[in-house]
């Protein structure tokens, strides 16, 4: 009797886990039956020529038809995603659900598992770029960015992963030291500033403008201040739909489960009247600073490049790119007319450590055309 009672309890506990797949399967059967029977009724509307099927026209029409007869498809997927999140605190592949409404990129968790133990490849790749720039009298300064699951370990729900991400940052620091590559610590200042406000968005991979300004201040203190007295002003608040919340739910359902847009107040650096600014970057024969890196620098919402201007007291040409990781934008700069025609004094390379888990990060051939 005891065994039977335990089995009954186990089934009751597991029942919700089976409910979502069963409901989804039932929905899929009904929906696709509706699609097939509807397609049969309206077959006269489908393309008749073989060429339409060869050039993809038929596929487009069938897809449009599918969406027309099933307008509830996307809302249903969102509803399933919301239920999965609320019941099991899970999302689709790409997101790790933490505590208190915090989401983390699966890429960060993978970085702690896939990284090369000695990070030798990263040191070799960065040293080669350092040497290329040095041959033209340009200094390279790397700014490693810590993982969100490291800075906000209390919300990540995976102490072992957070510990390894802390170690990953320390190991990267060590290999940069060993290779003689100048770098600026961002992790320490971010940890020290946690009581000032949110440094990363809850539902997004990226930092907030406050987090960016903390790191920009660290860069300014390390590199010194120029002669241009930039001021900074806040722009209008803007909603940001978290790039991680989209792995769970989108649209109107998101706010209902606590994953609605977060408000971001971007900032703009204002040059003094008559001072140097970004409008005349093509005039001078030399650019003080070039910033390159990832979406942490490229997206104007975070205002990293703008805060750097204030903290460095000098113009900063932002050549970072979104969606390409840290290496591709750097190699694009090395092959650019900017390097050949108006070389900077210093290149600041923002480099999130989570990319150190990408096994193909250094696969692309170096871009050195401009250095020839």
DSSP 161-204: HHHHHHHHHHHHHHHHHHTT--B---HHHHHHTGGGS-SB-TTS
* Active-site pick, 295, 297, 303, 315: 295
* Active-site pick, 78, 150, 204, 315: 204
55 classed as catalytic: no
CA distance 92 to 299: 25
DSSP 140-158: EEEEEE--HHHHTHHHHS-
Structure tokens at 108: 């960060």
Q: Count of CB atoms within 10 A of residue 36's CB? A: 10
Q: Note whether 349 and 183 are within 8 A (CB).
A: no
Q: Which residue has the tokens 């991400």?
A: 165
Distance between start and end Cα atoms, the chain: 82
Structure tokens at 211: 């987090």
Structure tokens at 248: 């769970």
100 classed as catalytic: no
* Active-site pick, 206, 213, 297, 315: 206
Please classify residue 90 by burial: count the beta carbons closer than 10 Å to its beta carbon, then call 0-12 exposed, 13-18 middle and 19+ buried.
Answer: middle
Q: Note whether 103 and 95 are within 8 A (CB).
A: yes
295 classed as catalytic: yes
Contacts of 59 by beta carbon, 8 Å cutoff, 6+ apart: 53
Q: Which residues are catalytic?
A: 204, 206, 295
């Amino acid at each position: 009797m005891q065994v039977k009672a335990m089995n009954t309890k186990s089934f009751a506990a597991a029942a919700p886990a089976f409910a979502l797949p069963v409901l989804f399967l039932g929905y899929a059967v009904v929906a696709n039956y509706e699609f097939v029977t509807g397609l049969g009724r309206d077959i006269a509307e489908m393309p008749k020529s073989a060429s339409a099927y060869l050039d993809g026209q038929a596929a487009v029409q069938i897809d449009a038809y599918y969406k027309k007869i099933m307008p509830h498809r996307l809302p249903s997927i969102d509803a399933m995603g919301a239920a999965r999140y609320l019941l099991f605190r899970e999302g689709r592949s790409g997101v790790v659900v933490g505590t208190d409404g915090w989401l983390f990129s699966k890429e960060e968790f993978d970085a702690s598992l896939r990284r090369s133990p000695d990070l030798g490849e990263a040191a070799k790749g960065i040293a080669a770029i350092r040497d290329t720039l040095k041959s033209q009298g340009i200094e390279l300064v790397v700014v490693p960015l810590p993982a969100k699951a490291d800075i906000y370990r209390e919300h990540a729900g995976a102490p072992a992963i957070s510990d390894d991400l802390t170690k990953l940052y320390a190991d990267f620091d060590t290999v940069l030291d060993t290779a003689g590559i100048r770098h600026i610590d961002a992790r320490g200042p971010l940890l020290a500033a946690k009581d000032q406000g949110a440094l990363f968005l809850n539902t997004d991979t990226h930092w907030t403008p406050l987090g960016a300004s903390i790191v920009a201040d660290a860069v300014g203190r390390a590199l010194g201040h120029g002669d241009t007295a930039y001021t900074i002003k806040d722009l209008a608040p803007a909603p940001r739909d978290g790039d991680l919340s989209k792995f769970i739910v989108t649209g109107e359902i998101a706010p209902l489960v606590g994953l609605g847009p977060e408000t971001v107040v971007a900032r703009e650096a204002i040059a003094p009247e008559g001072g140097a600014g970004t409008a005349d970057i093509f005039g001078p024969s030399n650019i003080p600073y070039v910033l390159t890196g990832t979406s942490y620098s490229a997206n104007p919402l975070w205002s990293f490049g703008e805060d750097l201007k204030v903290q460095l007291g000098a113009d900063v040409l932002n050549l970072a790119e979104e969606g390409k990781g840290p290496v591709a934008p750097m190699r694009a700069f090395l092959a650019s007319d900017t390097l050949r025609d108006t070389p900077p004094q210093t290149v600041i390379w923002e480099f999130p450590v989570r990319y150190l888990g990408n096994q193909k990060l250094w696969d692309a051939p170096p871009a050195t055309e401009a250095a020839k």
